A = this chain, B = another copy of it.
Amino acid sequence: MVQYSQRLSRVKGSVIREIFKMMADPEIISLGGGSPAAEGYPLDKVREISDCLLRDHGVAMLDYGLTSGYLPLREAYLEHLVRPKGVEAQVENTIIMTGSGQGIYLVFDVFIDPGDTVLIESPTFLNTINVLRKMDANIVGVAMDEEGIIIEDLEEKIKRHHPKLLYTIPTFQNPTGRSLSLPRRQAIAELAARYDMVVLEDDPYGDVRFRGEPLPPIKSFDESGNVIMLNSFSKTIAPGLRVGAVTAKEEWVQKLELVKQGADTHTATLPQAICAEFLRQGLLPAHLQKVGKIYAERFAAMERGIRQYFPANCEYTRPDGGLFVWARIPGCNTIELNKRAVSEYKVAFVPGQPFFINEDEGLDCLRLNYSSSNVEKITAACQRLGELFASLG
């Protein structure tokens, strides 16, 4: 028998990808995924744009493209999504990724050796934990409160562990839905400079806001150049396109280009060009407003459902945007409950534990997605979960 690589033994399958596979069963209501509202996809516009692109720029859509990405997309991304947020950047500061998941992977590939310390929010995006485990990084969690990362804990851990990198999702964090406060954004940019630490600011959700005022990215306070901003078109346009983008100092963008050559040569051109045209035609603001209305309704339904059906001691977050509510039901074991929820109650959610690095954390927590099911389904799912919780006695 041929042996697998050692790193493979450290890779766990994604719980969320496993839940995604179950969704073939139409009876199950999934609060487990991270899909946008299907009703909100800009289908007609994408179809129209795609047809024009293939008519007017057919060969460019089908031929090889630059590893750094389709130039009109890099320009449109800067004009519509980077500079308006107070980040100064030129085309040399951006590179397109095959989804922001690839961006996470390749940033770690550029910086992280086995044993290097990487700080993460505790809890955080489980894909990031999986990739860091595979790379044999020393992963250290930083404590959060309702305003995101606690700066005192962050600085203490920087001093103790000399991390090479901090991975953070500052806005509508996955899985908690929490947002980092403005002063803390400034503080993180300062710590990155003072301690010569890379900050990977992963912001796939920030533009999907349904209430409250926008917060500037950490990157907008970055004077040292140590902050890398990572964005995604998965939640703002569509995830099936697999398009993300990075903004960073030019030297780092060149290193990302180097590792991307070996990873997939370049991101598919037609999906990139669809995103570019969508931005260039100025369609994003109205689209985000439409999506925001859907999400606001669905979050409201989830909040009503939790209040009405969940145990009275349930604690949950109230995000101003993004896709997720994070709930805690003291005393529950959500890994066990999830199995019963799927098989007996036909509802899926993601148990809290996999978002933590320690196996004894998050056991009574769960992540609930409100973006991808309609109000009726969310209400029914909350009711079914309420019955499950009640059955525990």
In the complex, the answer to whether A263 meets B101 with C-beta atoms within 8 Å is yes
Distance A14 CA – B34 CA, assembled complex (angstroms)? 36
In the complex, the answer to whether A5 meets B63 with C-beta atoms within 8 Å is no
Question: Is there a chain B Cβ closer than 8 Å to A297's Cβ?
Answer: no
Contacts A4-B255, A198-B2 given: A265-B62 contact, CB under 8 Å? no
In the complex, the answer to whether A240 meets B99 with C-beta atoms within 8 Å is no
In the complex, the answer to whether A130 meets B62 with C-beta atoms within 8 Å is no
Question: Is there a chain B Cβ closer than 8 Å to A261's Cβ?
Answer: yes
In the complex, the answer to whether A64 meets B33 with C-beta atoms within 8 Å is yes
Convert A259-270 into 0s and 1s, putting 1 for each residue whose CB lies closer than 8 angstroms to a CB of B: 101111111111
For window 24-80 of chain A, which residues contact chain B by CB distance below 8 Å?
33-36, 38, 41, 43, 46-47, 50-51, 54-55, 58-67
Convert A232-272 into 0s and 1s, putting 1 for each residue whose CB lies closer than 8 angstroms to a CB of B: 00000011111100000000000100110111111111110
A87 to chain B, nearest CB (A): 19
A101 neighbours in B (Cβ, 8 Å): 262-265
Contacts A8-B110, A264-B99 given: A238-B130 contact, CB under 8 Å? no
A2 neighbours in B (Cβ, 8 Å): 111, 164, 196-198, 226
Distance A54 CA – B35 CA, assembled complex (angstroms)? 18
A116 neighbours in B (Cβ, 8 Å): 5
Contacts A5-B110, A59-B41 given: A268-B268 contact, CB under 8 Å? yes
Copies in the complex: 2
In the complex, the answer to whether A264 meets B226 with C-beta atoms within 8 Å is no
Question: Is there a chain B Cβ closer than 8 Å to A182's Cβ?
Answer: no
A47 neighbours in B (Cβ, 8 Å): 51, 54-55, 58
A269 neighbours in B (Cβ, 8 Å): 240-241
Question: Is there a chain B Cβ closer than 8 Å to A221's Cβ?
Answer: no
For window 323-345 of chain A, which residues contact chain B by CB distance below 8 Å?
none
Convert A77-115 into 0s and 1s, putting 1 for each residue whose CB lies closer than 8 angstroms to a CB of B: 000000000000000000000110110010001111100
In the complex, the answer to whether A259 meets B198 with C-beta atoms within 8 Å is no
Distance A83 CA – B108 CA, assembled complex (angstroms)? 39
Q: Nearest B residue to A134 by beta-carbon distance? A: B262
Distance A228 CA – B280 CA, assembled complex (angstroms)? 43
In the complex, the answer to whether B65 meets A240 with C-beta atoms within 8 Å is yes
Contacts A101-B263, A196-B2 given: A240-B127 contact, CB under 8 Å? no
In the complex, the answer to whether A241 meets B261 with C-beta atoms within 8 Å is no
A330 to chain B, nearest CB (A): 32
- The residue from B50, B58, B113, B241 contacting A7, defined by CB atoms under 8 A apart: B113
Question: Is there a chain B Cβ closer than 8 Å to A131's Cβ?
Answer: yes
Distance A268 CA – B8 CA, assembled complex (angstroms)? 24
Question: Is there a chain B Cβ closer than 8 Å to A21's Cβ?
Answer: yes
Given contacts A63-B238, A127-B261, A263-B263, 17 further A-B contacts (CB under 8 A): A2-B111, A3-B111, A4-B110, A17-B261, A47-B54, A47-B55, A50-B51, A63-B240, A64-B239, A64-B240, A101-B264, A101-B265, A105-B263, A127-B265, A240-B270, A242-B268, A271-B271
| The 10 nearest A-B residue pairs measured at CB | A62-B238, A240-B269, A47-B54, A43-B58, A242-B268, A98-B264, A102-B264, A41-B62, A62-B240, A131-B262
Residues of A whose CB lies within 8 Å of any CB of B are 1-8, 11, 13-14, 17, 20-21, 33-36, 38, 41, 43, 46-47, 50-51, 54-55, 58-67, 98-99, 101-102, 105, 109-113, 116, 127, 130-131, 134, 164, 196-198, 226, 238-243, 255, 258-259, 261-271
A-B contact pairs, 11 of them (CB 8 A): A4-B110, A11-B259, A17-B265, A36-B63, A41-B59, A41-B63, A43-B58, A47-B54, A102-B264, A127-B262, A241-B270
